[in-house]
Copies of this chain bind each other. A is one copy, B any other.
Amino acid sequence: MEAIRYSALSGGKRIRPFLVTYSSTLFGVSRSYAMRVAAAVEMVHCYSLIHDDLPAMDDDDLRRGVPTCHVKFDEATAILAGDALLARSFEVLADPATHSDPRVRSDLVVELARAAGGDGMVGGQMLDLLAAESSLQMAEITRMQRMKTGALIAFSCESAALLGKASDSARHALRAYAHDLGLAFQIADDLLDVEGDPDVVGKRTQKDENAGKATFISLLGTDRARSQSQMLAHQAVQHLDMFPDTADPLRALAEYVVNRNN
């Protein structure tokens, strides 16, 4: 429990919970429902960080400016803390307190499991690990990132559509927003790895280059990568045109993710 709290409550930008809660306001979803889904999403995000940081994976010792879970505790505890967070996220989603309609709860579980599993985050991380040994091209890197980080960002938005029983068109618009936002976010992340100050970013930088990994930056160069991320953020905002002012926090987020320094 100590390791779980340490990793799940160590701050971070909380972008995914932000997406769940502000997407939920578009559809008048009860705040208590949205907060539970937001918590579940953040648990899955934190589980993936704990496991990805392990020595056998990315071998990172710093995360959010503090020692990673396996450094602070030990590897066994870190593996189990991640496992427990993943299991708990599904318990939270399926609990009657998350929505009065059990069909919505079941649908949330299916969608989150897909985002987390072999065709989502786990598959993306596997491709990322294999990337060090191969030379990926743009289409492959885009696919890998779409699975590794895009799937949970997409779930964060689509869960709100499920909670609010939104129209198909609203759901598709949110999915398109999430897709472009996720890629913009990832390119900005790659730029921070190249240009960021580790003290501000809160984790080790220059990792990709040292690992000889193909990234958006190695393929596009920093200038084109930066303009690509700005273009994607702009495009993400356009997908929100059907929504009123209540979508302004989502619009502002797109601006933020490409201009952040951590």
State the main secondary structure of chain A at its contact with B: helix
CB distance from A61 to the nearest CB of B (A): 15
Neighbour of A57 across the interface among B79, B109, B112, B118, CB < 8 A? B79
Top 7 A-B pairs, shortest CB-CB distance? A91-B113, A56-B75, A94-B109, A87-B117, A102-B103, A102-B102, A87-B116
Structural contact, A80 and B126, CB atoms closer than 8 A: yes
CB distance from A160 to the nearest CB of B (A): 18
CB distance from A163 to the nearest CB of B (A): 14
Q: Is the CB of A96 closer than 8 A to any CB of chain B?
A: yes
Q: Is the CB of A125 closer than 8 A to any CB of chain B?
A: yes
A132, B1: Cα distance in complex, Å: 19
Q: Is the CB of A86 closer than 8 A to any CB of chain B?
A: yes
Neighbour of A80 across the interface among B76, B102, B125, CB < 8 A? B125
- Interface residues in A88-131 by Cβ distance below 8 A to B read 88, 90-91, 93-96, 101-103, 105-107, 109-110, 112-114, 116-118, 122-123, 125-126, 129
Known: A1-B118, A79-B51, A79-B57. A110 touches B94 (CB 8 A): yes
CB distance from A213 to the nearest CB of B (A): 15
